[in-house]
Structure formats: structure tokens, C-alpha cells
Structure 1
Amino acid sequence: MGENLPALLYIAASILFILALRGLSSPETSRAGNRFGMIGMAIAIATTLFVLENKGLGAWVLVALAIAIGAVPGAYIARRVPMTAMPQLVAAFHSLVGMAAVLIAWAAFLAPRAFGVGEPGHIHLQSALEMSLGAAIGAITFSGSVIAFLKLNGNMSGKPIILPARHAINLGLGLLILIFIGMMMTGEQSWTTFLWLTIASFIIGFLLIIPIGGADMPVVISMLNSYSGWAAAGIGFTLENMALIVTGALVGSSGAILSYIMCKGMNRSFISVILGGFGGEDASAGAGAEETRPVKQGSAEDAAFIMKNARKVIVVPGYGMAVAQAQHALKEMADLLKEHGVEVKYAIHPVAGRMPGHMNVLLAEAHVPYDEVFELEDINAEFRTADVAFVIGANDVTNPAAKTDKASPIYGMPVLDVENAGTVLFVKRSMASGYAGVQNELFFRDNTMMLFGDAKKMCEEIVKAL
């Protein structure tokens, strides 16, 4: 029983990880899902420590030190990070998973006896493939996640950076990576071969993400999430660690499925997403001449009067709400409207914010009832029956040009049909374009009233007026 106990515990941890994913599929069960994941990870770590029972005091000290190095700053950062910076945090964590895979692959390559994968220069064929794939995918995940972090954090422009002949360069690097993996499997297992494999993978990771525009970042986040899972699974085979294999496969497959769903939500090609070949050449098309068309501007008092006399109001939150941390003031406004007999619902676009579920988390934080929050396909038809669409900080996901302007970089992306509401109240700081760099045609519609200012302050002023 003692010999089989680690395997049984790893199976238990894997089951808890599956339950965690199941729980995270719905806001109502997301807290339970998080608990399942935390318990599963605790079991996996405890089992790993149990396996170290006969490895000596030095191994225990090293593992304890590693846990402290990861846990202390990780807990501090997670507690301190604002919700607006959550996408950057996710990208940063993805980069760490990728680098961990690279370092483990190199450890196995330099000390194959310790990992039971062969002798120096004579690594088993299967193990050579596993560590090569782990190093390659891990390096791509690391460098790609670093670029995603810099773009999301504002350290690098969110606009696409188009390199000459980038597709040819990426293809050449991809072929080089395959050649180096083949060399590793056919006996050419020198450290220079493995080094060039790693360097080529780091470079292609940078080149895959640099051309992608800010509007496509939600898809990039889910794509890198998938990459990090496959990197972990590949290294799990090298370490012969079942929990790592199962966990990596879960993360990789769920991230791929999420990427596919996000692609449908943005009218993107899934293959193009995987290869990093999207959001590039077209993304600059949104840049045009300075906008001079007039818009209808209103005040908080105007908005309060219009909404108080409405039958149905649909709220459309976006990244501007997150930046202003306006979710609590918005919830207070909605509660007051409901006291006046107004029906209030919330419409969430799949890519609103900077990562999947960004708006859902913020609304849940403000204790907005789950049954008032609807996805695009469930509520889009209701805008025709809504007296008011209250758009707070959302831009690209409400742009009618996505349905009419074939020259627009967001053409074909499913958007919320807010223009069909009786009145559109649009809360925005200025007339600046959204993250995609495209001017929103909704601003200039006859039934749109612009409410310029900070989203939180505007909601608070509307509350006072109500």
C-alpha cells in the first residue's frame, strides 16, 4: 500500500482539479471550484514531500526554500494586485510556468541519471522528445507571456508591431525547432543543440505575440494559458509525475477550448491564433483622421431622468468600468432604479475587459445577482425591447462598424446590439478610440447621449440625482 499511496494521492489531486474546472464553469459554483483546486494542489505538494522521505535532509531544505520563494511573493502580489491588473498578473504567472518547464528540461538534460532518462549524451529517445517539447513550448510560453504582460501593463504599445517578412521568419524558426528536436532524438544530443533549440523557441515566442494588437489580448491570454499547460504536461512525462501530466493536460485542453470560444466571439481563425498570425496587418486600419463629427452630450441628471422613466435598462460594462472601479457605484445605481420599478439586466460580451470573465468577476465582487447577468447570445435580442442601454466603459464590443464596415479591423466580430435600444447612454472619459484603435460609430447615432467623465464619479452623480 505504501508504494501505491503516492499514485493514489496524485489521482485524488487530479480528480479535485477536474472538479475545480467544473466549478469554475459557473459564477454560482466558482468559489467551490477554487477550493477544490486549492485542496488538490495542497495534496499534490504534500505527496511530493512524502516522496522525498528517503532523499535526505538536503532535499527537504531545498524544497521548503523553493516553496517559500514562490509562496511568499505570490501571496503578497495576489493580495495587493487590483482587479484592473489581473490580466497582467495572469500573463506574468504564465511566464513563470513556461520558464519552470525550460529549467526542468535543462536539469534533465544536464543530469539525465538523476531523472532516470539515460546517460549524458545518450538520453532515451522518448525522454529526448519529451524534454525537447517541454523546453520549446515552455520557452515560447515564457517569452510570449512577457510580451503580453508588457502590452497589458502599458510598458509596450498595445498597437501591433509589424516586422518585415514576419511569417517567413516564424516559419523558418519553426522548421529550425523541428530540426533541433529531430537531432536530439537521433543522437546529436550536445548542449549546443539543446541551447539553440531553447533560443529559437524564446525568439519565436516574442515574434508570435509582438504583432498582435491590444483588442486581441483576451484571446492571447487564453492561448498562453493553453501553452503553459502543455509545457507542464511535457515536463510531467520527463519527471514521470502523473499529477503534473494530468494537471498540464487539463490546463492545456481547457485553455485551447477557451481560445476556440474566444475566437468565435471575435470572429478570428483558431489556427491563426495558435500560430500568432492574427491581429496584425489589419489592426492599423482603425487609425484615421481626427474625428470632427458632433455628438450629443448629456449630464448625470439627464441620465437619471431618462433611466428613472424607463421600463427596462440593460447595462453593458467594459474595461472603463474596471479602470474606474465603478462596479459598486453601478450596483447602487441599479438598486435605486429597481426601487423605481425599472427592470435592470447586465449584458457581458465574451471579450469585454482584458481577459475572459473580467466583467463577471467585477460584478460578482459588487454582489450583482447572477440571474441578472447575461452573455451576448442570451441578451442581444432584448436590446430591441430596452428603453435604455447604459454602456459604461465598453467600446469595441458595442461598435456597429463590426457589422457594416468591411474595412474595419473588427469587422465580423459579434458585438452587442446596443444601438437597437431606445436611448444609448455612453459613459466614457473622452472621444478616444478603444483598444482596437477604431472609432466607435455608436457615438454619432441620433439615439446616443455621451456622458463624459470618470465612470465611478458619473455613477455616483446619477445616484445622487436619482
Structure 2
Amino acid sequence: MSGTISALLYLVSSVCFIMALRGLSSPETARQGNLFGMVGMVIAIGTTLALPSVLSYETIILGIVIGGAIGAVIARRIQMTALPQLVAAFHSLVGLAACFVAVAAFYRPEAYGIGQTGAIATSSLVEMSLGLAIGAITFTGSIIAFGKLQGLVTGRPLVFTGQHPLNAALGIAVFVLIGWLIADQNPTAFWLIFAVSLALGFLLILPIGGADMPVVVSMLNSYSGWAACGIGFTLENSLLIVTGALVGSSGAILSYIMCKGMNRSFFNVILGGFGGETAAAAGGPGGDRNVKAGSAEDAAFIMDNAASVIIVPGYGMAVAQAQHALREMADLLKSNGVQVRYAIHPVAGRMPGHMNVLLAEANVPYDEVLELEEINRDFAQTDVAFVIGANDVTNPAAKTDPTSPIYGMPILDVERAKTVLFVKRSMASGYAGVENELFFRDNTMMLFGDAKKMCEEILKSLE
């Protein structure tokens, strides 16, 4: 295949990826976006395999078969609730792949057209070392994020004295080592960049608490894109450069949006996250404070006699896999003349768009799913706010308590509804480790139990 044709096909593939990002920006066009992405990837892979620089199709086919088989098994077995940790795991593989390419290019530069052994072009060394560093940070950082999301590592911020100075020192060390590599092309410098960056990835994510995990996931997505972009320059592959830049920039923009949704700066998240799981308050539900507990029958009666209901899903829905039962409950309410809508907070769940994905899986109509800015004013005119596991994003302390770690974070104003029905297993605080003042409001009724079972019981009572 000639260079002109391959460049043209890479351009077509890049356009497909841009259209994929555009489609994925809205639930209504997400399927179309996925289709564009798949078409673009097929064109990209096909074009690359047709290049004259390919030396061994056997090795490539073996890798495709092994990787494809593993991916197919994971895709079929993975639960929708485990998507955040799956995304984090995929990010780690992207980072590791960038490291592997950097190693291969460093030891076999002639195979990549970046110079002869021991005489790599300076520009290529800069690109290679940056790709190696970002890839290593992405790899270990994503492993820690996976561990936190999977529950293998505590969701609490793991901090220690001197943590920030150590991270700063390691960051400076990476750039010093890059300068050494460029000046001397010393293999020791290369492997030290790799080792220090691996340590930096661990240390950057460990202190970030569970409440900041949506930002971390999008941030690591950005890192993986920039790692791929850097390696694209090393390989002189225009498509990898464009694709990496798209992923890197979109991840960075998404991180900004998530930070804005939490009223936190990006550096505030990186330099010290907040939140982690905590035990239930002592003395049972509510400790020494009174809460109003109700049953599924009570909730069914209240909602069946309401004119409007706004459902606020959170991670509790994801854990219980309650989205299908919730949709059936909502459908029955709608058939009884009740207006039902869904309110989505930008950081609900454990990754960006987590609730949207789960509701889409349950075939909830897109026009009923509204973002915070679109629906927040409507709570004051709503009869019932049905909160299913969305703890931190509904906590009034974010507006009233300056000492709270979530103070200033925009929340869904569910407390303004006439009645708040809150489905939760216990009185334990949310992932941010903050007690929810909403539990103790006069217009709140707590529905203790598994979210899926509660929705099913409400459904039976409505029938």
C-alpha cells in the first residue's frame, strides 16, 4: 500500500473517531457513535496491516486471537455494575502498551526509522521518554484505581507525612532523567524513568478518596490518550497521534466537567482527595438522632397518589442491580398517570455517565433522563423524590455546612420535594465519608433494605 493511500485511509479513520466522540456525547446518539468508532478502528487496523513495514503476520494474528478471546470472555461475563473497574483496567493496558512500544523503539530504533542503534534522534528521545513516563504513570495509577473500585484497596484516602513533597520530588526526577536520557542515551536513565514513573502512578492515586473516583477515571483516560499520542510521534504514525490527542483532550475536558460538578479544582483532587467508606453510625440507624422509617407499602401508597415523581439513582442502584426493577416500577406509575423523570448528578456512581449506562441498559427512555442543571429547579414542585442509593450528591450539608468536605459541591435539591423516599441498606455514610443530613429531615422517609428488593416490593404493592 502506498503512503498516499494509507494517509488517506488514516484520515478517514480519524474522522470516524471524531464522529464517534460526537455521538457518544449524548445518549440518543451513543449507538451511532459506537458504530463510527468500530468502523474507524476496522479501517485503522486494516490499513496498518497492509503497510509494507509489517514483518510477521503470524505474530500479529496470534496476538489478535489471544487478545480477542480474552476480550470476548470479559465482555460476556462483566456485570454492568463493574464497568468502572473494567474501564480502569483497560486504561492500565493502554499505559503498559505505550511502555512496551517505548522499550522496543529504544532498543531497536532502526526498525522504527528513528535512527540507528546508539544514535536515536533527539526529538524521538523526547517523544519516547514522555510516552514511557505517562504510560508508566497510567499503568500503575489505573491498577490502584481498579483496586479501589473493586474493593481490593480501601476507598479511604491513604495519606502520609511528606506525601506531596515526595510526589513533587519524583515528578522533578522524571524530567531530570529525561534530560539525562536525551543527553547521553543511557539505558540506565531509560529504566529509571520507567521505575520512577511507576512509583509516581501509585503515589498519585493512593491518596485520592472514593468520592473523587469519577474524576480519577476520566483523568486516567486522558493520561492513556497522551501516552498513545507520545508513542505515535515515536512511531511516526499520524493516526496514533490524532487518536491519542482526541482521547487525551476529551479525557481532560471530561475531568474538568467532573471537577466543576463537584466544585473542586483538578489540582485539589490530585493533591488530596476526600472520602472513603465508613461504618454505620453507632447505636443503629441514626445513632441518637431520629429518622422516619417506612415500608414498601408506604412508599407505593405515597407515589401512587402523587402527581409527579423524580427518581434519583446512585451507586446503591448499581450495586443492587436494581435498574430493571426500577424501570418496571416507573412504568407502572406512569400507567397510573404519574409523571416520572430521572435526575442524574454528574458524579453519581463510580465513573462518568455510570447512571446513564445503567438506565440505558434497562431501556429507560432518554427523554426522561435529565441532568442536574435541567431538573434541579423542578424538585420544589415535585410531590416525591425517590432516591435510590445516591448519598453524597443529595446531601444538604454541601450547601449548609462550611466545615463539611463536600461543602460547595452542587447537589440535587431533593430536600425541596414534598416527600423524599430514600432507599438505603443502613445509615452508613456515603463514599465521601459524610453523614447525610437529608436522612433526618421531617419530609424524608427511609426505606431500609436492598434496592432491588425494595423496588420489587413496591412494584407488587402498586399492582
The answer to whether the superposition gives a TM-score over 0.5 is yes
Equivalent residue for 1:222, pick from 208, 218, 224: 218
Query: Which residue of structure 2 lines up, in the alignment, with residue 265 of structure 1?
Result: 261
Report the residue type matching 1:196 in the other structure: L
Q: Are 2:140 and 2:201, in contact at CA under 8 Å, matched by a contact in 1?
A: yes
Paired residues of 1:230 and 1:248 also in contact (CA < 8 A): yes
CA distance in 1, matches of 2:60, 2:264: 43
Q: How does 1:56-75 map to 2 (within 5 A)?
A: 56=55, 59-75=56-72
Count of aligned pairs between the two proteins: 458
3-state DSSP of counterpart to 2:446: strand
1:361 to 352, 357, 362: 357
Identity of aligned residues (%): 69
Q: Report how far residue 62 of structure 1 moved.
A: 1.1
Q: Are 2:278 and 1:278 equivalent residues in the alignment?
A: no
Equivalence map 1:38-57=2 (5 Å): 38-52=38-52, 55-56=54-55
- Of 386, 396, 402 in structure 2, the residue corresponding to residue 400 of structure 1 is 396
Contact 1:285 1:409 in 2 (8 A): no
CA distance in 1, matches of 2:160, 2:118: 38
Q: Deviations over 1:31-66 (max 9, x none)?
A: 0100110111111111111014x645xx11111112
Q: Which residue of 1 aligns with 2:310?
A: 314
Structure 2: which amino acid aligns with 1:220? V
2:23 corresponds to: 23
Superimposed CA distance per residue, residues 202-234 of structure 1 (whole angstroms, 9 cap, x where no aligned partner): 101100000000010000000000000000000
Report if the CA contact (8 A) 2:99-2:131 is conserved: yes
Deviation at 1:286, TM superposition (A): 8.3
Distance 1:14 1:80 in 2: 31
Q: How does 1:180-191 map to 2 (within 5 A)?
A: 180-186=177-183, 188-191=184-187
The C-alpha deviation readout for 1:83-105, integer Å capped at 9, x for no partner, is 11000000000000000001100
Change (3 A) 1:362 1:286: closer
* Letter matched to residue 47 of structure 1: T
> In 2, distance between residues paired with 1:386 and 1:151?
36
Distance 2:241 2:63 in 1: 21
* Residue pair 1:287, 1:438 contacting (<8 A) in 2 also: no
Structure 1's unaligned 5+ residue stretches are none
For residue 270 of structure 1, report the CA deviation from its aligned partner.
2.3
Runs (5+) with no aligned partner, structure 2: none
The structural deviation recorded for 1:288 is 10
TM-score (norm: length of structure 1): 0.96
Distance in 2 separating the partners of 1:299 and 1:284: 29
What value does the CA root-mean-square deviation take over the aligned residues?
1.5
| 1:302 and 2:298 correspond | yes
The 3-state SS of whatever aligns with 1:51 is coil
Deviates more, 1:425-434 or 1:285-294: 285-294
Q: CA deviation at 1:285?
A: 12
- Letter aligned with residue 419 of structure 1: E
Amino acid at match of 1:439: E
Pairwise CA distance, 1:278: 3.1
- TM-score after normalising by structure 2: 0.96
The Cα offsets for residues 157-215 of structure 1, whole Å up to 9 and x where unpaired, read as 000100221110011101110101111222x1111010101111110110000000001
The separation in 1 between residues aligned to 2:3 and 2:105, in whole angstroms, is 24
Aligned residue for 1:334?
Answer: 330
Matched residue type, 1:79: R
CA distance in 2, matches of 1:433, 1:405: 16
Q: Which residue of 1 aligns with 2:321?
A: 325
Change (3 A) 1:55 1:454: closer
SS in 1 for 2:445: strand
| Deviation (angstroms), 1:354 | 0.7
Alignment partners' CA distance in 2, 1:217 and 1:163: 20
Q: Which whole-Å CA distance do the structure 2 matches of 1:380 and 1:162 have between them?
A: 35
Q: Counterparts of 1:66 and 1:5 in 2: how far apart (Å)?
A: 26
Residues 236-245 or 285-294, more deviating: 285-294
Distance of 1:271 and 1:277 partners within structure 2:
6
Matched, 1:85 2:82: yes
**In 1, Cα distance between equivalents of 2:63 and 2:14:** 22
Tell me the equivalent position of 1:100.
Answer: 97
Deviations 1:254-275 (A, max 9, x none): 00000000000011112344xx
Equivalent residue in structure 1 for 2:188, among 188, 192, 204: 192
Residues 363 and 285 (structure 1), Cα distance of their counterparts in 2 relative to 1, 3 Å cut: closer
Pick closer, same or farther for the CA change 1:34–1:285 going to 2, 3 Å.
closer
1:232 aligned onto 2:217 = no
Partner residue in 2 for 1:4: 4
Give the equivalent residue in structure 2 for 1:435.
431
Q: Deviations over 1:67-116 (max 9, x none)?
A: 12221101210221001100000000000000000110011111111111
Q: Give the equivalent residue in structure 1 for 2:160.
A: 163
Secondary structure at 2:292's aligned position in 1? coil
The aligned counterpart of 1:444 is 440
